């Protein structure tokens, strides 16, 4: 992996913070956010937290130890997002495909996700973070759903950062579910087929009021979507970092945001060539 080089200039830039919101803890290294102009800070960052199993394997540990180590990485990244002023952060916690893993690992992940939400929701609430959940209830443990709903209810009034936990989530599943709901409304006469366009369809997604993804980040060096926020990431800038998730922290998030700030986003348009 490449050595870490970090710009330690800038200061905390968080909108919506009030006097009773606890600021994020500083990074142990003393690193501070890079001086990215406010209009170049991504509004919505989606993160695929990949590499827990490989991190554990390299240390002769079971895969579950990698998942445990990844918890600290997620919450350091959340604090880094708060420091930089990112309004929306989505974390891929458990996919619809993860049910294919061994029964023991699935049971661990169910209990681990439940316990992380329960253990951390007061801390998130204190920092003004609003928790949202995207995904299918379906096969999820009721205790996981209960904790997600409790965190949503507790933090509903927070405005510093919206954290979308994607649990039992799949991009294709979300689009298919939206199509079913839309078809139901068409059949009931509530929507005219001739009026259906991308904007109408997007209203049927899990969290339609969360903006589209600006920056899509994946750890571990793998370079694929893995069925995460497919609709929302249509014009996202992609940054793939060669660092396993348990080794990832807010400095890696800031590095990805610096890369994003240098990109020229044209959304299919182009400036005529000078001849």
Dump pLDDT digits (tens) for 141-169: 999 999 999 999 999 999 999 999 999 99
Q: Tell me what the mean pLDDT of segment 256-264 comes to.
A: 97
Q: How far from 17 is each of 42, 87, 137, 172, 201, CA to CA, in Å?
A: 18, 11, 32, 35, 33
Q: Determine the Cα–Cα distance for residues 205 and 1; give it in Å rounded to an integer.
A: 37
Averaged pLDDT score across all residues of the chain: 93
pLDDT surpasses 80 at 271 = no
Q: Tell me what the mean pLDDT of segment 194-207 comes to.
A: 98
Sheet order of strands, 129-134 included = 129-134, 161-169, 88-95, 44-48, 215-218, 237-240
pLDDT of 274: 80
Question: What amino acid positions are annotated as catalytic residues?
Answer: 50, 98
pLDDT of 266: 80
pLDDT surpasses 50 at 16 = no
pLDDT surpasses 90 at 14 = no
Q: What is the pLDDT of residues 56-110, one digit of tens each?
A: 999 999 999 999 999 999 999 999 999 999 999 999 999 999 999 999 999 999 9
Q: What is the pLDDT of residues 17-29, one digit of tens each?
A: 445 899 999 999 9
Q: Tell me what the mean pLDDT of segment 27-47 comes to.
A: 97
- pLDDT-based confidence at residue 206 (cuts at 50, 70, 90): very high
Task: Return all residues near 169 (Cβ < 8 A) that are at least 6 apart.
Answer: 92, 93, 94, 95, 96, 134, 135, 136, 206, 228
Beta bridge partner(s), residue 130 = 162
Q: What is the pLDDT of residues 249-259, one digit of tens each?
A: 999 999 999 99
pLDDT surpasses 90 at 139 = yes
pLDDT of 19: 52
> CA geometry: angle at 270 spanning 264 and 275, to 5°?
110
Task: Return all residues near 89 (Cβ < 8 A) that are at least 6 apart.
Answer: 44, 45, 46, 47, 77, 78, 81, 161, 162, 163, 164
Alpha-carbon dihedral 213, 217, 222, 228, rounded to 10 degrees: -30
Q: What is the pLDDT of residues 216-239, one digit of tens each?
A: 999 999 999 999 999 999 999 999
Q: Determine the Cα–Cα distance for residues 229 and 210; give it in Å rounded to an integer.
A: 11
Backbone dihedral angles phi then psi of residue 35, each to the nearest 5 degrees? -80, 65
């Amino acid at each position: 992996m490449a050595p870490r080089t970090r710009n330690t200039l800038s200061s905390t830039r968080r909108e919506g913070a009030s006097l009773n919101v606890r600021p994020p803890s500083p990074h142990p290294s003393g690193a501070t956010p890079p001086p990215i102009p406010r209009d170049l800070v991504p509004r919505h960052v989606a993160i695929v937290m990949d590499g827990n199993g490989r991190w554990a394997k390299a240390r002769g540990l079971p895969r579950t130890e990698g998942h445990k180590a990844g918890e600290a990485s997620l919450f350091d990244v959340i604090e880094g997002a708060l420091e930089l002023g990112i309004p929306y952060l989505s974390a891929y916690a458990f996919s619809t495909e993860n049910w294919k893993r061994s029964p023991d690992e699935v049971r661990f992940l169910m209990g681990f996700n439940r316990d992380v939400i329960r253990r951390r929701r007061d801390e998130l609430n204190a920092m003004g973070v609003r928790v949202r959940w995207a995904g299918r209830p379906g096969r999820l443990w009721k205790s996981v759903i209960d904790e997600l709903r409790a965190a949503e209810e507790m933090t509903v009034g927070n405005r510093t950062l919206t954290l979308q936990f994607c649990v039992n989530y799949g991009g294709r599943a979300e689009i298919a579910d939206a199509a079913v709901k839309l078809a139901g409304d068409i059949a009931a006469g509530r929507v005219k087929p001739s009026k259906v366009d991308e904007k109408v369809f997007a209203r049927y997604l899990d969290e339609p009021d969360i903006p589209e993804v600006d920056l899509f980040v994946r750890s571990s060096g793998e370079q694929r979507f893995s069925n995460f926020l497919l609709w929302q990431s249509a014009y996202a800038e992609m940054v793939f970092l060669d660092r396993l998730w348990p080794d990832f922290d807010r400095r890696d998030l800031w590095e990805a945001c610096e890369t994003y700030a240098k990109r020229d986003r044209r959304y299919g348009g182009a400036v005529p060539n000078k001849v």
